Amino acid sequence: MALSKKDIDYIAHLARLDISSDEAPLYTEKLTRILEFIDELGKVDTNDLLPMAQSLDISQRLRADEANVSEDRDLYQKNADVISQGLYLVPRVIE
Amino acid sequence: MTPLRLTIAEMSNLLAAGEISSTELVKDCLSRISEKDDSLNSFITVLNESALIAAKSADKLRKLDKAGPLTGIPMAHKDIFCAKGTITSCASKMLANFESPYDATVVERLSNAGMISVGKTNMDEFAMGSSSETSFYGPVTNPWNKSLSPGGSSGGSAAAVAAGLVPMATGTDTGGSIRQPAALCGITGFKPSYGRISRYGIVAFASSLDQAGVLALSAEDVALVMQEIAGFDPRDSTSADKPVPNYRASLDQSVKGRRIGVPKEYFNEGLDSDYADVIRTSLDVFSQMGAEICEVSLPNLSFAVPTYYVVCPAEASSNLSRYDGVRFGYRAENPIDLEDLYKRTRSEGFGDEVKRRIMTGTYVLSAGYYDAYYLKAQKVRQLIAEDLRRCFEQVDVLIGPTTPTTAFAIGEKIDDPVKMYLNDIYTVSANLAGLPAISIPCGIVNGLPTGLHLIGPQFEEARVLNFAHCFQTETNWHKFLPGSERN
């Protein structure tokens, strides 16, 4: 199916991406091409099939509830641009 | 300087015999990188200092008789593996300044085995690509011909091994990202079963498909490295808790009387005719060793790539939502509010192909489209896995080409995503079904290498390596490399 500019804006918003009006036509064209390609799957009869989320025949493993000290906040926060007193800072969200 | 193409096995013997030191090997690697990598662009980071320090320690260990088979042998990690204290960029502007606070399990295990990382290799951004052109650090070139792509996404690892800069490099394979570049660069590339090697510390792309593996000069070298990195890791919730066999020990088993399946769909249109001839000749090699060649069918093969390009972007869009400019990675300047921070950080930090895959994934998971695309693809994935399971009731391994063509020109496919995606036609099924698979060099077409692709049943890594090794004892294609005396 062909995507419209409105579709692209909506998907970009859901993905938290800014797509400029200059870029939009190229994204529209390429995503439409990709969707046409994956639309091929509509031809497959999948009525009796269970969805396959992953390839291993295992269920979620549980671990023992043991306390361990592995976090090193200062080390991890070295990779953050803006921190203060051990906190990550973001633009104000509450007026 | 040491000969250009020493394998890990050869290096290990020379080190054990005291005929060479680790310091010499590492110095040679570093000088080759500085001499050749300007044109290849296969490395993002070169670890001159730490590699030489590690080499000296390895030489000391050897003097104390505490060296293992891999102690002191140089190698490189794809820049998707976290290595403590080094930049792990994933070839993205988003992580260009990310200094990993910890080691990936693969990095830790190879370091414990004494291997020495001389650097981090270039790749497609976030491993999204089949040409190593989407890197923030510029494209990697193919050592056979610098105007060609080495394939991707582990193109830096493949080019570095093929050019003789390192004897081995790690890679990751989500849809063919180890095997396709190995084929296009004329080396051996192995992706084990999903769950065999821990994903801990590997930057996540598509979590149900990602698997680490090895790019090297022979199946024997792959076996030596696999012995160290395979096995259960409690830090990866999908790590398989299964015993690891001795991979080296089973390499020499005869293939006589064993059955090789050749899916008839592999030879349909799309496969270059000269490439097809090389594959048939390679099958004859196995016949001469006493293996039986049987025709099998993978009726849903043509749906594998479309399935992959729903499942993979869906998982990627979810995984990459973590890049928000807050805790690590690139952060946009002067955001006016939180949404502006998110949107500009992600738009400025990600490249085009990554954004395209995030958008595709977001779309197929969005309200109203989830059932039609994502759920549908998960069901077709089941069908593809069932086809493969059925084949393995009849045969020991499946064999075919790794790619439809030899290496293509840089720029040739970058503007047509679907054309680029079809590079993965022979490789993605193994990821969808979680099976072990290898690409080994099998001939030359128009001066360029081709890859023979072998797939085994789940967790039968030893069998795949055994078949590959037998082929490499009968042929010399794995010794045929760019710049080598035989080329």
ipTM of the complex model: 0.95
Residues near B397 by beta carbon (within 8 Å), at least 6 away in sequence: B258, B260, B261, B454, B455, B456, B463, B464, B467
Residue B341 forms contact with A (CB below 8 Å): yes
Average pLDDT of span A17-27: 93
Helices (H), B17-104: 22-40, 48-63
Average pLDDT, chain A: 91
Do A50 and B327 lie within an 8 Å CB cutoff? no
- What pLDDT sits at residue B487? 40
Contact list in B for residue A17 (CB cut-off 8 A) is 343, 346-347, 350, 355, 358-359
Residues near B372 by beta carbon (within 8 Å), at least 6 away in sequence: A42
Which of A1, A13, A18, A65 is most worth mutating to test chain B (most B CB atoms within 10 A of its CB)?
A18
- What pLDDT sits at residue B486? 42
- What pLDDT sits at residue B186? 98
Average pLDDT, chain B: 96
* CA dist., res. B370 & res. B380, Å (int): 14
Tokens for B157? Answer: 């690892």
- What pLDDT sits at residue B268? 83
Residues near A70 by beta carbon (within 8 Å), at least 6 away in sequence: none
What sign does the CA torsion over B344, B349, B352, B355 have? negative
Q: Using CB atoms, pick whichever of A51, A53, A80 lies closest to residue B326.
A: A80
* CA dist., res. B346 & res. B344, Å (int): 5
CA nearest B308 in A: which residue?
A38
* CA dist., res. B307 & res. B244, Å (int): 31
Q: What is the pTM for the complete model shown? A: 0.97
Is B153 tagged catalytic? yes
Q: What is the dihedral of CA B76, B80, B84, B85, to 10 degrees?
A: 90
Q: What is the pLDDT of residues A53-86, one digit of tens each?
A: 999 987 788 888 988 877 789 999 999 999 999 9
Do B377 and A38 lie within an 8 Å CB cutoff? yes
Backbone angles phi, psi at A75, to 5 degrees: -65, -45
CA nearest A19 in B: which residue?
B347
Residue B426 forms contact with A (CB below 8 Å): no
Gyration radius from chain B CA atoms = 21
- What pLDDT sits at residue A64? 86
**Which of B142, B77, B415 lies closest to A26, judged by CA?**
B415
Residue ranges in chain B modelled with pLDDT below 70: 269, 484-487
